C-alpha cells in the first residue's frame, strides 16, 4: 500500500505535492473509483521518485493504466530539459518501442462471421508466437544494421508492405538518430531470428469487430466503419530491445555515480542527456525502436497474406490498410510549449502513448486537422478503443495519454486465480476464439488480470487529454 497522499485537482487529475527532493509535483490521471487500486500499488511512489531526477519539467505524470514497473511506473510520462536533464532506461523499459498498429479492412463481419476460427488458425500458423520464438526470415548482420537504421521502410523495401503504410506510423516507422554500431553482439544475436515474431506475455494479434462509433466524422476520416473487421497488432523489439536495455542499465549505474546523480531508486539510473553515456543510450535505443517498427511491418505483411489465403480473396477485396501505429515505450526529442515558449525537450513515455492534438506537423496530412489517432488495446475478453489526441494533451501532458488497460493482478496472482479453470473455454463462451502457444500465457493474460479498459478510457476522456472515436470488440486472438 502506497503512503503517498493525493490532492484533488479535478475529477480526473490528482496531484502528489512536491516534498523532500522532488523537483516538481506529481500528477496522476484517474477517476476517483480507480484511486483505491492505484494506492494499493507502489506506483505512486515511483511517480514521486521520478520527480527528483535532474532537469525534469512540469510534472512527473502517470496515466490511469498505471502500475508498478522497473524505474518509472508503467503509465509514466516525464519530460526533461535537453541541456541539463537526464535520460533513463527505466523511463523507457525493457521492451523498447512496444507498440500497437491498427489495420482496417473492407471485410464486413456478416460476410466472414463463420470464418473466424479459420482466420485465427491461419494467423496462428503464419505468425510465430511464444517465448524465444523464431521466424522464417533469415537476416544477416548487415541486414540487421539496415533494419535498425531504416525500421519499417526496410521491410517495405523487401516487398513486405507498401510505401503508403509508412505514412501512418509514428516517426514514419524510421526514427532518426539510430546508431546500430552501439548495439551489442549479444543483442543482435537475439534479434536476428526474432524479426517478424510476436513473442509472449501481453503481445497479440487480434481480429476485431468495429461495434460502436462515438464520433462519426472522425471515424470516417480514419476509415472505420461500424460492422467492419479490424486487426490490431501489439508487440515490440523482442530480445534485441531487452538486451539493449539490459546492457544500458549497467552503463547507466556507473554514469549515475560518475555525474553525482542522487538516485532514490537504483532502477532510475540515468545520465545527462548530452553526456557520452546519454547519447550512446539514445543511439542504441533508437536502433531498437526501428527494429520494433520493422517487426510490426513484417507481421502486418504475413497477416495480410494469411487472411487473403484463408478467405481466398484478393488484396483489393481485403482492402487492409494501416490506420495508424503508436509507440508505447520510448524517449524522444519533441518541441512543446513550456512557460509560454517553444522548448525542445526529451519526453519519456513508459507504457504511455503520444497523443498529439490537431495541427501538429508530425501527424499525417490526412489526420492533421483532427489530431493523432491513439490506439488503446484492452484485455482479450473486453473491448479496445480508438481515440484522438487533443490540444489539452499538448497543454497538460506533453501530448501524452494512456496505453492500455493496465494490469490489476501480478502475473503470479493471475496464474494462481486461474488454477482449475480453462480461460480458453471461458472466452469461447463469450464468442472469442483464442490460440496460444502455452496455457500459462492465457492464465497470466486472463481478462480479470487487467483493469476495465472502459474505465481507463473514460478517465483520459474526462481529463480532456483524449477523445473517443470508436470501440472494437475482440473476435479472435493469437498469443504467445
Rounded to whole angstroms, the Cα distance separating 26 from 281 reads 26
Rounded to whole angstroms, the Cα distance separating 335 from 133 reads 38
**pLDDT of 35 strictly over 80:** yes
- Grid-cell match 554514469, residue found: 255
**pLDDT of 350 strictly over 70:** yes
Of these residues, 172, 301, 348, 403, which one is catalytic?
403
Q: What is the DSSP letter of 89?
A: G
CA 386 distance to own-chain centroid: 13
Rounded to whole angstroms, the Cα distance separating 396 from 392 reads 6
Query: What CATH number belongs to 1-480?
Result: 3.90.1860.10
Torsion of CA 361, 363, 369, 373, to 10 degrees: -150
% of the chain with per-residue pLDDT over 90: 86
The pLDDT value given to residue 114: 97
In contact, 363 and 390? CB cutoff 8 Å: no
Q: How confident is the model at residue 3 (pLDDT cuts 50, 70, 90)?
A: confident
The pLDDT value given to residue 411: 87
Q: Give per-residue pLDDT as tens, 290-309.
A: 999 999 999 999 999 999 99
**What pTM value is reported for the model?**
0.97
**Higher pLDDT among residues 423 and 312, named by residue:** 312
Other CB atoms within 10 A of residue 359 CB: 12
Pairing of strands 86-87, 204-213: unpaired
Q: Give per-residue pLDDT as tens, 8-26.
A: 999 999 999 999 999 999 9
CA 82 distance to own-chain centroid: 24
Arithmetic mean of pLDDT, 311-339 = 97
In contact, 323 and 223? CB cutoff 8 Å: yes
Across the strands, what pairs with 385? 376, 471
Q: Give per-residue pLDDT as tens, 220-273.
A: 999 999 999 999 999 999 999 999 999 999 999 999 999 999 999 999 999 999
**Residue 114 annotated to the active site:** no
Q: How confident is the model at residue 2 (pLDDT cuts 50, 70, 90)?
A: low
| H/E run at residue 370 | none
- Grid-cell match 487487467, residue found: 450
The pLDDT value given to residue 443: 87
The pLDDT value given to residue 1: 55
Angstrom CA distances, 347 to 119, 187, 352, 458, 464, stand at 39, 25, 11, 24, 20
The domain locations on the chain are 1-480
Amino acid at each position: 500500500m502506497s503512503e503517498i497522499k493525493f490532492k484533488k485537482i479535478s475529477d480526473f487529475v490528482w496531484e502528489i505535492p512536491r516534498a523532500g527532493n522532488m523537483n516538481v509535483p506529481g500528477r496522476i490521471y484517474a477517476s476517483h473509483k480507480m484511486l483505491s487500486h492505484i494506492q494499493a500499488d507502489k506506483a505512486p511512489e515511483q511517480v514521486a521518485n521520478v520527480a527528483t531526477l535532474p532537469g525534469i519539467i512540469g510534472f512527473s505524470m502517470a496515466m490511469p493504466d498505471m502500475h508498478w514497473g522497473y524505474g518509472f511506473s508503467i503509465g509514466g510520462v516525464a519530460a526533461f530539459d535537453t541541456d541539463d536533464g537526464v535520460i533513463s532506461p527505466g523511463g523507457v523499459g525493457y521492451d523498447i518501442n512496444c507498440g500497437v498498429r491498427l489495420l482496417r479492412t473492407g471485410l464486413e463481419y456478416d460476410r466472414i462471421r463463420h470464418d473466424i476460427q479459420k482466420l485465427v488458425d491461419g494467423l496462428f500458423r503464419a505468425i510465430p508466437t511464444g517465448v524465444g520464438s523464431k521466424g522464417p526470415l533469415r537476416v544477416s548482420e548487415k541486414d540487421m544494421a539496415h533494419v535498425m537504421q531504416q525500421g519499417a521502410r526496410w521491410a517495405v523495401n523487401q516487398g513486405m508492405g507498401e510505401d503508403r503504410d509508412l505514412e501512418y506510423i509514428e516517426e514514419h516507422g524510421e526514427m532518426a538518430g539510430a546508431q546500430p554500431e552501439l548495439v551489442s553482439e549479444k543483442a543482435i544475436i537475439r534479434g536476428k531470428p526474432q524479426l517478424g515474431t510476436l513473442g509472449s506475455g501481453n503481445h497479440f494479434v487480434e481480429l476485431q469487430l468495429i461495434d460502436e462509433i462515438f464520433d462519426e466524422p472522425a471515424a470516417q476520416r480514419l476509415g472505420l466503419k461500424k460492422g467492419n473487421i479490424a486487426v490490431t497488432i501489439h508487440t515490440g523489439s523482442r530480445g534485441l530491445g531487452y538486451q539493449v536495455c539490459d546492457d544500458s542499465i549497467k552503463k547507466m549505474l556507473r554514469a549515475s555515480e560518475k555525474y553525482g546523480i542522487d538516485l532514490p531508486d537504483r532502477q532510475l539510473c540515468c545520465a545527462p542527456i548530452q553526456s557520452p553515456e546519454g547519447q550512446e543510450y539514445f543511439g542504441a535505443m533508437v536502433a531498437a525502436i526501428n527494429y520494433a517498427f520493422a517487426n510490426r511491418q513484417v507481421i502486418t505483411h504475413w497477416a495480410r497474406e494469411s487472411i487473403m489465403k484463408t478467405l481466398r480473396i484478393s488484396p483489393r477485396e481485403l482492402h487492409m490498410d494501416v490506420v495508424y501505429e503508436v509507440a508505447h515505450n520510448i524517449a524522444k526529442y519533441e518541441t512543446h510549449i513550456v512557460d509560454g515558449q517553444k522548448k525542445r525537450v526529451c519526453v519519456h513515455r513508459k507504457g504511455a502513448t503520444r497523443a498529439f492534438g490537431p495541427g501538429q506537423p508530425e501527424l499525417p496530412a490526412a489526420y492533421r486537422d483532427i489530431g493523432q489517432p491513439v490506439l488503446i488495446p484492452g484485455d482479450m475478453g473486453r473491448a479496445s478503443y480508438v481515440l484522438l489526441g487533443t490540444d489539452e494533451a499538448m497543454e497538460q501532458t506533453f501530448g501524452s495519454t494512456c496505453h492500455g488497460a493496465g494490469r490489476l493482478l501480478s502475473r503470479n496472482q493471475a496464474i494462481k486465480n486461474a488454477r482449475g479453470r480453462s480461460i480458453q473455454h471461458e472466452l469461447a463462451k463469450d464468442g472469442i476464439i483464442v490460440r496460444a502457444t502455452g496455457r500459462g500465457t492465457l492464465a497470466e493474460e486472463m481478462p480479470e488480470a487487467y483493469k476495465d479498459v472502459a474505465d481507463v478510457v473514460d478517465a483520459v476522456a474526462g481529463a480532456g487529454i483524449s477523445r473517443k472515436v470508436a470501440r472494437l470488440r475482440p473476435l479472435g486472438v493469437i498469443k504467445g
